Structure 1
Amino acid sequence: MSLFDLRLSDIHNRLATKQLSVAELVDASLARIAATDSKVGAFLTLNEENARNEAAALDAQLAQGGERGLLFGIPAGIKDNIVTEGLRTTCGSKFLDNYDPIYDATVVTKLRAAQSITVGKLNMDEFAMGGSNENSAYHPVRNPWALDRVPGGSSGGSAAAVAAGQAYFTLGSDTGGSIRQPAAYCGVVGLKPTYGLVSRFGLVAFASSLDQIGPITKNVEDSAYVLQAIAGHDGRDSTSAKVDIPDYLSALTGDVKGLKIGVPKEYMGKGIDPQVKERVLEALKVFESMGAQWEEISLPHTDYAVASYYLLASSEASSNLSRFDGVRYGVRADNPANLLDLYRRSRSEGFGPEVKRRIMLGTYALSSGYYDAYYKKAQQVRTLIKRDFDQAFEKYDLIIGPTAPTAAFKIGEQVGDPLTMYLNDICTIPVSLAGVPAISIPCGTADGLPVGLQIIGKHFDETTVLRAAHAFESQTGFHNLRPALS
């Protein structure tokens, strides 16, 4: 059995009983990256020297005995829009090609406190804008299940690294589905927490009212471990919620008897691949066999979610990315004629086509004379979408459906059709607009490629989401399936 097939709890026990060293874990991770990343392209920056030095220091601690946390010595990958002190953070963009942060994001600080080891920064769609990881300014990421397929995006590097056995867990960010969709395409587990549960301090902003950091792992138990480490209030993030953090591990009982599940007809209709629909229906039968109940429901404003999301997210991106001007940090144009020329050329040369497209769309939506017709209207629709979820959760404990309408598509297949690309997020975007938690877990395959099941919960009810996901996982073996590359 490969080290990457072990649960984090198994690795923890082996470290505690001296059957395994931290150096061996780091060596295995770096060796795997060296052997496979020329094919996958999941990493942008490696932290090899520091990782080995940290491993030696942690092994010295192990030799002294004492209690260690569950993430002690575990090598992890960090999405490249989460800042790491002294470790290059590019956001997948040439604009930040030379950016070495002078501080850590809060989630990175928490992982350091848990004594996890960062082995590198992971590839992504530029500034998290994209659903296929073809928008990286450096190189696309390829799906370990089929190298001619996309891994999803924007956290494609984070999902592919776990699927390929390069890292034991990774962190991604989710704005409209950017953790869940790549997790589905790569056959791994991706959790988007409730908005505000995990600090956004140090996450390079795309759409501030939607962005949320979460874990990508091999199984649900590992997700609970990582969430336990990174969740909690942060005074440096004005949107961070002051809520009690429960013991997520205690929720993994395997018992879902009596749970009421709603299945939105809008998530199972037109545009959903028949094989994907069949896998979801089979998963619902598993929940039935465990004593849960489900029935079809309606989230009537789902049809307006994609349009609302792209207006809101692009508007916020237009505002957030205005700071990239070639003056304060990042690359700048050579020999500008004047200040205006510096702005124009730095942004024109630094941003890729998808980022430019969204900045232009957002600037237009926020412009005088169009604000009420577009941005304000989209905010009103967002309220209606949130209300749909609130009303559904008055009766149901969970909402379940597919994570993505299809399995992973081929690289280059949709790159020239932005609208079709945007519609791949039809099942994940409403969840982000409502700010509720959701997890994607493997539930089978379609034409040999993974299919993701999305389990959606009430605000700050990650315990029920994890409980249901873990129970399903315990009754099936889909999370144990590995691509040929791994």
Structure 2
Amino acid sequence: MIEKSLKELGQSLASKEISAVELATLYLDRIERLNPEINAFVTVDRQKTLAMAAEADARLAAGTAGPLTGIPVAQKDIFCAEGWRTTCGSKMLADFVAPYDATVIDKLHRQAGMVSLGKTNMDEFAMGSSNENSYFGAVKNPWDTSRVPGGSSGGSAAAVAARMAPIATGTDTGGSIRQPAGLCNLTGLKPTYGVVSRYGMIAYASSLDQGGPMGVSAEDCALLLNAMAGFDERDSTSLDRPREDYARDLDLPLAGLKIGLPKEFFGEGCDAKVMAAVQAAIDEYRKLGATTVEISLPNTHLAIPAYYVIAPAEASSNLSRYDGVRYGYRAPEYGNLDDMYMKTRAQGFGEEVKRRILIGAYVLSHGYYDAYYLQAQRIRRLIANDFVEAFKQCDVILGPTSPTTAFRISEKSADPVQMYLSDIYTISLNLAGLPGMSVPCGFADGLPVGLQLIGNYFGEARLLNVAHRYQQVTGWHRQLPAGIA
């Protein structure tokens, strides 16, 4: 069962080969066995999960089931889920139980009938590239438990990589779906900004955050995105556009496809073995009928400095709500209101979150706003314009997801800048609001390598087609870590 696609699991449920309760029990037992070492889940509630599965079985029996009804899903702990502890990986929300469902949770559980297996570990408030910043401890990569799974959606990535869940939700602010997908041999998709509702998704940087699917294959991601996407009037940045079937073009041939290869992604800075795997993937695409063209994204080198002004600025504003007054952690001892604010925030936030709040407050302060924040927004426009020009020459853009394979736990903890540089290829998409995905494309010294595909606005169906056709002629995405069968 753990090697079946979502479509195959749906067929098994429809044919009564297995019930939703039996399928959920199978995954809950795997979580119980594997999670103590990997630390992918922070909250599991067997009773709640099995009650959802029983509801799904009732829908299957009544003939009112959809294509995903009864299929288990792991939820990144950034999505509020009514009655579930929702921590965002932080001491600040360690005991917070959400009083309502995020739109994504509502769509997957109540509308599609999927079964939630629990909430997955993450970098605190989605701030990190290694999943070492969680209050609940580091997540370990199932391919090598001495290494990181990537972040901030590292718990979701590790859960699917170890087949503790067949599919998971993630969020991507600067690469937080694609980078862990790349490091854990998964397929992960960050949609166009505004395609998936942010209502009930705990905010980090509101102009960059976007939810998306993390799974084994492009086909699985297309099916989950079908259920996740759609207009939501409760999210002011949600886009009101016609519903799409993201799986509609999966089998289209790639003859005539023009792939852009940015010279900035193929220069120095990328590990030679990673680049060799990416080059082999390019050769496969040529065999499938695609042609390649060299393009330039000249402002790529400015993406990280611009991002680390804009994202912390928005974070410092969004995280001001955690003051110990209304919900979340409150310092146990304080002298007055100001003292309570200061002690609560000093005790409740981790080091990386404090670092970004301080950076954000600084760049928004009087006398620095024009020099930093405004300048970063201008650079953001230049980066977006680079992509507009590039897409005049090609249909999709291709390159590595990360410059290296998974690094060792604590290897970069003491050097935040080195950690930030692990997102060099992913961040510019978020600044431009474009869709992008990571697809498994091989191994370097036994560790997974991710191939990044970048599409034009609302080009998710085309991206999924390009990924799916590649996965039909390669078997990288079906490989499992040793010892997790």
Q: What is the TM-score with the length of structure 2 in the denominator?
A: 0.98
The structure 1 residue matched to 2:380, chosen from 379, 382, 389, is 382
Distance apart, 1:147 and its partner CA: 0.3
Cross-structure match for 1:81: 78
Map Cα deviations across residues 198-218 of structure 1 (whole Å, 9 max, x no partner): 000001000000000001001
Cross-structure match for 2:430: 432
Q: Which amino acid aligns with 2:290?
A: A
CA distance in 2, matches of 1:56, 1:248: 29
Cross-structure match for 1:474: 472
Cross-structure match for 2:165: 167
Say whether residues 1:100 and 2:100 are aligned partners: no
On the 8 A contact 1:132/1:153 being kept in 2, the answer is: yes
Cross-structure match for 2:87: 90
Q: Residues 84-233 of structure 1: matches in 2 within 5 Å?
A: 84-112=81-109, 113-233=111-231
On the 8 A contact 1:74/1:117 being kept in 2, the answer is: yes
Which runs of 4 or more aligned residues in structure 1 lie more than 3 Å from their structure 2 counterparts after TM superposition?
Answer: none
On the 8 A contact 1:106/1:201 being kept in 2, the answer is: yes
Say whether residues 1:31 and 2:29 are aligned partners: yes
Q: Which amino acid aligns with 2:4?
A: L
Map Cα deviations across residues 359-393 of structure 1 (whole Å, 9 max, x no partner): 00111000100001100000000000000001111
Cross-structure match for 1:443: 441
Counterpart of 1:5 in 2: which secondary structure? coil
Cross-structure match for 2:4: 6
What number of residue pairs does the alignment pair up? 483
Q: Which amino acid aligns with 1:173?
A: T
Q: Which amino acid aligns with 2:204?
A: F
Distance apart, 1:247 and its partner CA: 1.5
Distance apart, 1:59 and its partner CA: 2.1
Distance apart, 1:57 and its partner CA: 2.9
What are structure 1's unaligned runs of at least 5 residues?
Answer: none
On the 8 A contact 1:333/1:346 being kept in 2, the answer is: yes
Say whether residues 1:68 and 2:65 are aligned partners: yes
Counterpart of 1:276 in 2: which secondary structure? helix
On the 8 A contact 2:60/2:69 being kept in 1, the answer is: no
Distance apart, 1:242 and its partner CA: 1.2
Distance apart, 1:176 and its partner CA: 0.1
Q: Which amino acid aligns with 1:360?
A: L
Distance apart, 1:34 and its partner CA: 0.6
Q: How big is the alpha-carbon RMSD for the aligned residues of Structure 1 and Structure 2?
A: 0.9
Distance apart, 1:67 and its partner CA: 4.8
Distance apart, 1:270 and its partner CA: 1.4
CA distance in 2, matches of 1:260, 1:245: 27
Counterpart of 1:369 in 2: which secondary structure? coil
On the 8 A contact 2:56/2:115 being kept in 1, the answer is: no
Distance apart, 1:456 and its partner CA: 0.5
Cross-structure match for 2:267: 269
Distance apart, 1:334 and its partner CA: 1.6
On the 8 A contact 1:164/1:485 being kept in 2, the answer is: no
Distance apart, 1:245 and its partner CA: 2.5
On the 8 A contact 1:95/1:351 being kept in 2, the answer is: yes
Counterpart of 1:104 in 2: which secondary structure? coil
Q: Which amino acid aligns with 1:332?
A: R
Cross-structure match for 2:415: 417
CA distance in 2, matches of 1:333, 1:61: 46
CA distance in 2, matches of 1:391, 1:4: 43
On the 8 A contact 1:317/1:358 being kept in 2, the answer is: yes
Q: Which moved more, 1:203-212 or 1:289-298?
A: 289-298
Q: Which moved more, 1:149-158 or 1:240-249?
A: 240-249
CA distance in 1, matches of 2:171, 2:375: 26
**Percent identity, aligned pairs only?**
53
Q: Which amino acid aligns with 1:273?
A: D
Say whether residues 1:242 and 2:240 are aligned partners: yes
Cross-structure match for 1:393: 391
Cross-structure match for 1:53: 51
Q: Which amino acid aligns with 1:164?
A: A
Counterpart of 2:410 in 1: which secondary structure? coil
Distance apart, 1:265 and its partner CA: 1.1
On the 8 A contact 1:198/1:230 being kept in 2, the answer is: yes
Q: Which amino acid aligns with 2:117?
A: V
CA distance in 2, matches of 1:263, 1:47: 46
Distance apart, 1:295 and its partner CA: 1.9
Q: Which amino acid aligns with 1:70?
A: P
CA distance in 1, matches of 2:284, 2:163: 28
What are structure 2's unaligned runs of at least 5 residues?
Answer: none
Cross-structure match for 1:44: 42
CA distance in 2, matches of 1:459, 1:61: 36
On the 8 A contact 2:43/2:85 being kept in 1, the answer is: yes
On the 8 A contact 1:47/1:118 being kept in 2, the answer is: no
Counterpart of 1:460 in 2: which secondary structure? coil
